[in-house]
């Protein structure tokens, strides 16, 4: 019988966010694969764990997955951890998990911290539908192209960012997405944790007053989410006529106007009927 691969989340800053189950698993497996053995050794020392570590990072992912796969085939158990948070989330892990499935090993996630989830829940933006885009491209041209691709996604947008790119990224978000509501989560769970909320223009000005440091997650309202634009005021029947005059059919015009006025489609239809009768 092949062994088990445990995907073990570790803290994103605060050591106390290590779960009891994570500690138990890291103690009991045959080997722990990690990005940086010195970094993980410090974490293990804090919990009196003296298990065997092997390095597993983006440059040796394929080779190590094969080696660890062989151990799993022999019935051994392995854990994978990353430098911070959940392995596989913008960190190595994916190849080893694929390998484990291929050889019929059991794959068990041990849940814990993930930076983007905590940034979203603290942002005050809708959490019912989320688009996690990992890191935005480093170069402005590619970044703007990516932002154009996600502009119309009706879900809260979330990106990881580095301190030296956060300002440029916010500037590009502002230009491509408009002045949407947003939030920055900085240094989550650490001493200098900070959650800033406001429109993108506000976030830009709050960042420019201090040299950005630390780790950042950028959360932005999705298309049609709260904050892209204030709901339109005025006569919805006029707006629907205007859209129809531009060539839109009645159904699409009603749908778009409802969105612009911040109404459900049935509310928009009711107002449309009433206002048409009044005119
Ligand atoms: N595996 C990690 C997770 O589960 O969130 C993500 C690793 S990714 C290589 C590192 C990025 O995650 C950072 O550049 C930052 O955008 C984000 N991040 C990690 N820790 C964070 C923290 N404490 N506060 C804010 N962002 C953090």
User: How far is it, in rounded angstroms, from Cα 136 to Cα 220?
Assistant: 13
257 alpha carbon – ligand 1 mean position (Å): 39
Find the 253 Cα to ligand 1 centroid distance in Å.
42
pLDDT of residue 258: 83
CA-193 nearest atom, ligand 1: 24
Q: Write the DSSP symbol of residue 17.
A: G
Residue 118 Cα, ligand 1 centroid: separation in angstroms? 10
Q: What is the per-residue pLDDT for 230?
A: 55
The pLDDT of residue 239 is: 83
Q: Specify the residue with its C-alpha closest to ligand 1, atom 2.
A: 85
Q: pLDDT at position 259, please?
A: 77
Q: What is the DSSP string of 175-209?
A: HHH-S-EEEEEESTTSTT-EEEEEEHHHHHHHHHT
**Full DSSP string of 27-39:** HHSSEEEES-HHH
pTM of the predicted protein model = 0.82
Counting ligand 1 atoms within 8 A of each CB, the residue from 84, 184, 186, 218 with the most, and so the one to mutate, is 84
Residues with CB under 6 A from ligand 1: 12-13, 82, 84-86, 89-91, 114-116, 160-162, 185, 187-190, 215-217
pLDDT in tens, the chain (279 residues): 999 999 999 999 999 999 999 999 999 999 999 999 999 999 999 999 999 999 999 899 999 999 999 999 999 999 999 999 999 999 999 999 999 999 999 999 999 999 999 999 999 999 999 999 999 999 999 999 999 999 999 999 999 999 999 999 999 999 999 999 999 999 999 999 999 999 999 999 988 777 778 999 999 999 986 444 556 778 889 888 887 887 778 988 888 888 777 788 888 888 888 887 766
pLDDT of residue 225: 67
Q: Is the dihedral of CA 84, 85, 90, 96 positive or negative?
A: positive
For a substitution probing ligand 1, which of 88, 111, 118, 217 has the most ligand atoms within 8 Å of its CB? Answer: 217
Query: Domains in the chain and their CATH numbers?
Result: 4-113 (3.40.1010.10), 116-225 (3.30.950.10), 236-278 (no CATH)
pLDDT at res. 242: 83
């Amino acid at each position: 019988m092949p062994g088990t691969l445990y995907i073990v989340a570790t803290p994103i800053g605060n050591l106390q966010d290590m779960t009891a189950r994570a500690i138990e698993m890291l103690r009991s497996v045959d080997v722990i694969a990690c990005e940086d053995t010195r970094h993980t050794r410090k974490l293990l020392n804090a919990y009196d764990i003296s298990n065997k570590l092997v390095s597993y990072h983006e440059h040796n992912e394929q080779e190590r997955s094969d080696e660890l796969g062989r151990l799993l085939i022999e019935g051994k158990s392995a854990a994978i951890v990353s430098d911070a948070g959940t392995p596989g989330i913008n960190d190595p892990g994916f190849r080893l998990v694929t390998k484990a499935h291929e050889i019929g090993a059991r794959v068990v996630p041990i849940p814990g911290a993930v930076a983007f989830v905590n940034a979203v829940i603290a942002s005050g933006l809708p959490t019912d539908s989320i688009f996690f885009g990992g890191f935005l491209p480093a170069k402005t041209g590619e970044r703007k192209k990516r932002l154009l691709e996600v502009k119309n996604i009706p879900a809260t947008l979330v990106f990881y960012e580095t301190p030296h790119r956060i300002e440029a990224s916010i500037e590009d978000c502002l230009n491509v997405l408009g002045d949407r509501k947003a939030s920055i989560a900085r240094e989550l769970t650490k001493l200098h944790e900070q959650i800033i909320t406001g429109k993108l223009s506000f976030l830009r000005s709050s960042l420019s007053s201090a040299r950005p440091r630390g780790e950042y997650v950028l959360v932005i309202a999705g298309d049609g989410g709260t904050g892209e634009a204030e709901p339109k005021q005025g006569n919805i029947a006029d707006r629907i006529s205007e859209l129809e005059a531009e060539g839109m059919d009645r159904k699409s015009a009603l749908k778009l106007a409802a969105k612009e006025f911040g109404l459900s489609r049935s509310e928009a239809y009711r107002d449309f009927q009433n206002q048409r009768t009044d005119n």
